Structure 1
Amino acid sequence: MEPDLEVVQIRPGESFAAWSHGYPFRTVRWHFHPEYELHLVVATRGRYFVGDFIGEFEPGNLVLTGPNLPHNWVSHIPKETTVPLRCQVVQFSEQFIAGVQAALPELAALQPLLERSRRGVLFSDETSRQVAPLMQELMDAQGVRRIELFLSMLGHLSRGQHKALASASYLPDPSGYMSVGINKALAFLRENLTQPFTEAELAAIAGQSTSAFSRAFRKHTGMTLVQYVKRLRINLACQILMSDEQAAITDICFEVGFNNLSNFNRQFRAEKGMTPSQFRLLRMDEQKDRGSRRRPSPEKTAEIDGKTSAGFAARDKDRFAQTRRRTPGTAEDGQAGTATGPG
């Protein structure tokens, strides 16, 4: 059975995905994706599959899977039973982690683990106990705190004991997986997100009827094609709004694939709860707030400089007086003489 492609959603303004889910859930199936995935089981027991490995899992099961490595966790629970929270997941791309390693040479020590993760690695109970509270906090963390937690987790993972899961001879075959109809359609969609296309065209790529493709697409993504494309295009618009303050809203509308400005504004508001202009202003205000917290205002800077200068002057005057008391031949205040000091 060929694995399904999962399209990982990383929100605008974030470097990696961190989320949790219950059971059953739409991604609980034999699947793969180009991103690394750190997967922590917090509830239920069952059987899990990583490449050609099959094992039993329980709460605390912590596994890192590499790019395009098929995997799945199947819980053993009674039929019609649902579990609100079963797993916590962190997903990050090869490009992101390579960029982090390039910026932080200390993370070169992480490379052997990343290479082993292409077979999937299971971490020790001790490492799981160290990482679990960090993952829990990461689920709701924002801003710089997300990066702090992420790097802290990487540190524990790189030092922790672990073992490879899939056999050394197992090789993921993403090109083979992509020959499956729905995966071919999803790959086409990702490459042509901003271009016009129809559901019938995607169905033809998948080799299915339009109705069969519609059902398969909803099964794979948890939403309709229209909802899915709208979300991806709105997220792309958010990235442009944050990265280019000069870009006109109208230009962004057409750049991401919408062909009507009023519809773009309406869909953006429905997805984000605000207009594109409000979103841009909000992010600009957040950046200004962060900057103001880092830098004192000009008035405050002048006040600090004044106090610092006065402090230095008082300190130097005191030191000078002490030097005069210690040094023979130093003149008293208002009298002629020769003052000694550093040469």
Structure 2
Amino acid sequence: MHTTRGATARTEARSANIAQPDLELVAVPRDESFKVWSHGYPYRTVRWHFHPEYEIHLITSTTGKFFVGDHIGSFEPGNLVMTGSNLPHNWVSSVPQETRVDERCLVLQFDAEFATRAIAAFPELKRVEPLLDASRWGVLFTPKAGMAAEPIMREMLGAQGIRRITLFVALLDVLLQSTEQVKLASAAYRSDSASYAETHINHVLAYIGKNLSQELRETELAELAGQSVSAFSRYFRRHAGLTFVQYVNRLRINLACQLLMAGELSITDICYQVGFNNLSNFNRQFLLLKEMPPSRWRAYQQLNAASAKESPEAVHAS
């Protein structure tokens, strides 16, 4: 009986891996070390996908099936899993069609460089290294750990400054204290991010990233993906969560913010350098995404930088 179940599980896992996972672009804010957020169901990231960042994923509502590498399991609220770099994963909730769930999970994502720097700065964090290594196959924690993690991750959603770091360390401590950890993917499973990157959507996203300052036409990208323009438009929105134009504009405005912070180029020069072909459209898109014009955004950043250079005497005098 157990042999039959094991064979069935392996067959299901192989079937789940027929489809190549999609790349999720994780945008960690420039002034933060990690990203914490929540989402409902259905949601654009609820698909078979991967990303270079580590992820700590806590289910807060619904039940269903989850997929990590070649593992398939059942989940319920309190399901707490950590996945490693480029390990494909997905959680699919069992809810009636057309049902919408406001919050399905809490998610924390951080990259390997941040983990390396943190361990180098604080030797006490070396205890985390075996957990990071085990996450290459995915790690499932106990429901008790899930209950302990929820208030920490929920507070993280609105925390700022040093409080975010203390909560992050507290969360790691919860994971380390959970002694009944279960590796999910089989020992033989190996994620192949190079192969995943060859899929149509990932090839398109990589092309956009490399050619952001150039003119990007949806017709040309559709041809690159081997699709009609209408099919590509639907395909792109389903995988990126935005229309092609919205996605490109968001990347260009994010790049513009980096150049504005550097303070070396004029706003007009930045406009053209990030790929906009006229200043009015650049200003309009910047205002739409940042809720202020680029000139004010730069002024606020300069004010922020200047405050850090104030002398102790000046601070005391104020």
Task: Give the structure-2-normalised TM-score.
Answer: 0.86
Alignment match, 2:238: 219
How far off its partner does 1:66 sit? Answer: 0.8
Structure 1 residues 324-343: aligned runs within 5 Å: none
Is 1:163 matched up with 2:177?
A: no
Alignment match, 2:138: 120
Alignment match, 2:221: 202
Alignment match, 2:252: 233
From 49, 65, 80, the equivalent of 1:47 is 65
Give the secondary structure class of the aligned counterpart of 1:182.
helix
Instruction: Give the Cα separation in 2 of the matches to 1:202 and 1:6.
Output: 18
Instruction: Give the Cα separation in 2 of the matches to 1:192 and 1:227.
Output: 16
Alignment match, 1:312: none
Give the aligned length. 299
Structure 1 residues 1-343: aligned runs within 5 Å: 1-161=19-179, 162-242=181-261, 244-287=262-305, 295=312, 297=314, 300=317
Give the secondary structure class of the aligned counterpart of 2:81.
strand
Change (3 A) 1:276 1:70: same
Instruction: Give the Cα separation in 2 of the matches to 1:158 and 1:191.
Output: 39
Instruction: Give the Cα separation in 2 of the matches to 1:245 and 1:127.
Output: 46
Between structure 1 and structure 2, the one with the greater Rg is: 1
Instruction: Give the Cα separation in 1 of the matches to 2:269 and 2:123.
Output: 39
Alignment match, 1:328: none
Change (3 A) 1:18 1:298: closer
Give the secondary structure class of the aligned counterpart of 2:272.
helix
Instruction: Give the Cα separation in 2 of the matches to 1:31 and 1:2.
Output: 8
C-alpha distance after superposition, 1:225-258 (max 9, x if no partner): 110011111112223333x234432232233222
C-alpha distance after superposition, 1:110-133 (max 9, x if no partner): 111111111000112232222211
Instruction: Give the Cα separation in 1 of the matches to 2:85 and 2:316.
Output: 52
Structure 1: give runs of 5+ residues left out of the alignment: 302-343
Maintained 8 Å contact 1:123/1:163: yes
Change (3 A) 1:287 1:153: farther
Change (3 A) 1:291 1:61: farther
Instruction: Give the Cα separation in 2 of the matches to 1:121 and 1:201.
Output: 41
CA-based RMSD of the aligned residues comes to: 2.2
Give the secondary structure class of the aligned counterpart of 2:190.
coil
Instruction: Give the Cα separation in 1 of the matches to 2:141 and 2:62.
Output: 18
Aligned structure 1 segments of 4 or more residues deviating by more than 6 angstroms? none
Give the secondary structure class of the aligned counterpart of 1:86.
strand
Maintained 8 Å contact 1:258/1:264: yes
Instruction: Give the Cα separation in 2 of the matches to 1:299 and 1:167.
Output: 60
Maintained 8 Å contact 1:12/1:236: no
Structure 2: give runs of 5+ residues left out of the alignment: 1-18
How far off its partner does 1:267 sit? Answer: 1.0
Change (3 A) 1:241 1:151: farther
Percent of residue pairs bearing the same amino acid type: 54
Counterpart code for 1:283: Q
Give the secondary structure class of the aligned counterpart of 1:297.
helix
How far off its partner does 1:55 sit? Answer: 0.7
Counterpart code for 1:63: V
Change (3 A) 1:145 1:115: same
Instruction: Give the Cα separation in 1 of the matches to 2:184 and 2:146.
Output: 16
Instruction: Give the Cα separation in 2 of the matches to 1:206 and 1:61.
Output: 37
Instruction: Give the Cα separation in 2 of the matches to 1:35 and 1:283.
Output: 28
Instruction: Give the Cα separation in 2 of the matches to 1:62 and 1:25.
Output: 19
Task: Give the structure-1-normalised TM-score.
Answer: 0.80
How far off its partner does 1:289 sit? Answer: 5.5
